[in-house]
Amino acid sequence: MSQPTKKLILSTECVPDDIVFDILTRLPVKSLIRFRCVSKSLNSTITSRIFITTHFKLNEAKSLSNKDSHNDYLLYTSKSEYFSFNEEELVAFVCNRDHILTEISRFKTPFCFLDGYFVNCFCNGIFCLSRYDDDTIICWNPSIRKFKMLAPALLTEFFSWVTLGLAYNSQNNDFKILRLMCSQKSDEEPDGPDRPAEAEVYTLSTDSWRKVVISVDSSEPNIGYVYHTSPFIFFNGALHCIAFTNNGRFILSFEVNDERFHKIMLPQDSLDGYQGCLGVFKGLLAFIVLSRDIDPICDIWVMKEYGLVESWTRKSVPIDWIHSLFGVTDNGELFGIATELNLIDPEKNLNQNILVSKRYIRWVGYASNFMESLVLLDGGKCIL
């Protein structure tokens, strides 16, 4: 999406063109999709890059201003209950400050689970899907039921782990995808040289990839061999994941605007847990760790000052046993899976069961906002 430079001319007799344009940018996505059928001029305006960008920026500002509402959004994909058995759906819940979960929407995903696609990451209402067995990647906007098959990646040789991160580039109003590839030594050459991690970046507006160098500082020009990484989270204008190397674990961050990598050390006392994940806890970068003790303990490490290792602080709370930890909401609730999907408030000792069996869940995510947009309307394919 490019920066809007001028308003499009609309055919109206009673209302000035700029007023019509301004009114349209403030309407919800569902209404705008219907209004495309009114006239060719409206359809041309609503599908233009200028309009899509203006509408997106207004929705983004509104979404940020609504953060004080204390509503969170829990998302998951599963086998469809309403479509055919082989199809998959995205289910969205809104959770208010009283821990009341209300289903607000269901969307049919672009492909069925038998095709091998799964949700990899999402940002500002846009989802990134990939396949297990090849390098195919798509972007999907469920609010307009359209998806885009991305241009082929540059790095196509085999890697043991491939991690994707989707982020919004605020400097030029665009979306970017970071593709980080890692490998392990082969069984045929266990004593062979380490294979350095590699990375490339995709830009939505140009539909193209380019390689980027993974350099975290001048003394360490390349992070070298990475066993695997955790999923990315987007925070403070950067993508973050936990990287595993021969020298231990650390947070690898990638600034989206200037495309630079940085290394953030994890707290030393946090390395004994059996499972950990990154999250945003009450507006701060956090590392959540489940202990190996008989009585489960959750350590919530919060970085009080972003980038300053000395500012890590810990809060330990007892929790019920959970099998998999997915993340933490802005208000401090954890979500994970025991036998079913659970939303846990460790401070209030609340454990809310969402009646979805873990065997049907393929992906779980959380968002502090679930904004709709017209992104991909000017070039995406429609989901039938």
pLDDT for the residue numbered 21: 92
Give tens-digit pLDDT for 243-299: 887 777 889 999 999 999 999 999 887 666 667 788 888 889 999 888 766 677 788
Confidence of residue 66 (pLDDT cuts 50, 70, 90): low
Domain locations along the chain: 17-61
Rounded to whole angstroms, the Cα distance separating 226 from 247 reads 10
Q: CA distances (Å), 256 to each of 89, 141, 166, 239, 251, in order?
A: 30, 21, 10, 7, 16
Q: Which residues contact 289 (CB under 8 A, 6 or more apart)?
A: 270, 272, 273, 275, 276, 298, 299, 301
Residue 202 structure tokens:
């995709």
Phi, psi (rounded to 5 degrees) for 98: -95, 15
Rounded to whole angstroms, the Cα distance separating 73 from 335 reads 11
Q: CA distances (Å), 10 to each of 21, 28, 42, 220, 374, in order?
A: 8, 19, 7, 56, 19
Phi, psi (rounded to 5 degrees) for 8: -75, 155
Give tens-digit pLDDT for 318-354: 777 777 777 777 677 787 777 677 777 777 777 777 6
Residue 63 structure tokens:
């979404």
